[in-house]
Amino acid sequence: MMPPPGTGDWLVREVDAPVGSVVFSAERIRERVSQMAADITAHYEGEDDLLVLGLLKGSFIFLADLVRWIDRAIHVDFVVASSYGPGRRTSGEVKLLYDPTAPMEGRHILLVEDIIDSGTTIQRLADALHERNPASLELCALLDKNLAPELPLRPRWVGFDAPSDFLVGYGLDHAEDYRHLPFVASIAG
């Protein structure tokens, strides 16, 4: 019998992986996500129409945990965009693979991202979302590598400042592997 999720070691052994050290533990992530959700709840107090827009695939675990802690009515939709292929560096080209179906005009939009790295994806998405005339557009990211200070849409809420290492776990992947890890770890090699 395997130990419950979040206990760690068995998960790393389950993948034939060069996973390095744990950077943010499952417990630390859980605490920070609940704090962020409380801040988001307070920020949108009195606003009627909040759409939480998750950037897939990387944000799905973070988004699921975050919205369970937000103490107000919300709608959820997703956008799929990618600037990574099978490598560890952005290709520089953003591909929109799925466009959200929820109407955005006049709504408060909270874009949820797993990690801000080069900023290429966020910049492209911010431009596209602003064209839809939302009442407001804010960004929430689990991790920020602080490599893109010129972004037109800076995150209002950030879980953690991230090291420059290539990170996996808690939704972040390398070639679709490691998303299931309940913590964030550096990838060795």
Question: How many angstroms separate the CA atoms of 159 and 146, rounded?
Answer: 12
> Tell me, what's the pLDDT at 23?
96
Could you say which of 65, 117, 144, 173 is catalytic? 117
Q: Does the residue 87 lie in any domain?
A: yes
Q: Does the residue 16 lie in any domain?
A: no
Q: Does the residue 19 lie in any domain?
A: no
> Tell me, what's the pLDDT at 12?
45
> Tell me, what's the pLDDT at 13?
42
- Which of 107, 101, 47 is CA-nearest to residue 77? 101
Tell me the CATH number at 166.
3.40.50.2020
**Token duo for residue 76:** 């959820």
Q: Does the residue 43 lie in any domain?
A: no
Neighbours of 157 (CB within 10 A): 19
Q: Does the residue 85 lie in any domain?
A: yes
Amino acid at 157: W
> Tell me, what's the pLDDT at 86?
54
Is residue 65 annotated as a catalytic residue, yes or no? no
Q: Could you give the number of structural domains in the chain? A: 1
Residues of the chain with pLDDT under 50: 1-15
Amino acid at 65: D
Q: Does the residue 50 lie in any domain?
A: no
Q: Does the residue 89 lie in any domain?
A: yes
- Which of 172, 144, 174 is CA-nearest to residue 56? 172
> Tell me, what's the pLDDT at 106?
95
Total-model pTM: 0.83
**Token duo for residue 165:** 């290492």
Q: Does the residue 188 lie in any domain?
A: no
Q: For residue 160, what are the domain limits?
A: 74-180
